[in-house]
Amino acid sequence: MSHRSKHELNIPSGRPTGPVLVVADQESGLLIERLLANAGHDTLHATDVDQAINMLDSSRPACSCVVADRDSRLADGVVSLLDRTRSFGPVSLAEVPFVVLGTQTTKQFLLWQGGIDAYVQRPIHARDLLEAIHGVLTRSDGERTRLRQQMIEELSRVTF
């Protein structure tokens, strides 16, 4: 499947089209940034939660989405970042789509409840990550809410 560049996507009106904020440790963050750059996305890179919040709050144009690596040294920070943007941040931060990368399926339920928009399970394949990002950029707010509710319902039936 060929991927359209960011500029060819049908992004809903009013949705920010700025850079993708990558929240990950240095090594994995650079790999994710390179992948996104090759697909036509501008990126910012934060290596901790406070830096990510500052970048989300001050980026002009506003960040189009966040890609957060749950398996980096920031594991608990991803949950904190999600909570701070969804619960305590201004509306402009509360609506930024989140794509979380990870391996622990047991945490997915909490992440979906917290408001993520996509979860990409390891091993990460470029096509899967780009499809997730393009999906969160092009879904309407109503579609985002329905997908979250669907994933929460599906995961609530899973037993570990």
What is the pLDDT tens value at each position of the chain, 160 positions in all?
A: 344 445 555 555 555 678 999 999 888 899 999 999 999 999 999 998 889 989 998 888 889 999 999 876 656 778 888 888 888 777 777 889 999 998 876 678 888 998 999 999 988 899 999 999 999 999 988 999 999 999 999 998 876 5
- Has residue 7 been placed in a domain? no
The domain of 38 spans 16-156
- Has residue 143 been placed in a domain? yes
- Has residue 2 been placed in a domain? no
Query: How many structural domains is the chain composed of?
Result: 1
Q: What is the pTM of this model?
A: 0.86
- Has residue 5 been placed in a domain? no
Summarised one tens digit per residue, pLDDT across range 5-38 is 455 555 555 556 789 999 998 888 999 999 999 9
Query: What CATH number is associated with residue 86?
Result: 3.40.50.2300
Is residue 117 within 8 A of residue 101, CB to CB? The reply is no
- Has residue 24 been placed in a domain? yes
- Has residue 22 been placed in a domain? yes
d(CA 102, CA 112): 13
Q: Which of 24, 36, 139 is nearest to 116 (CA)?
A: 139
Structure tokens at 31: 């790999």
Token look-up 């096509």 returns 127
- Has residue 9 been placed in a domain? no
Would you call 80 exposed, middle or buried from its count of C-beta atoms within 10 A (0-12, 13-18, 19+)? middle
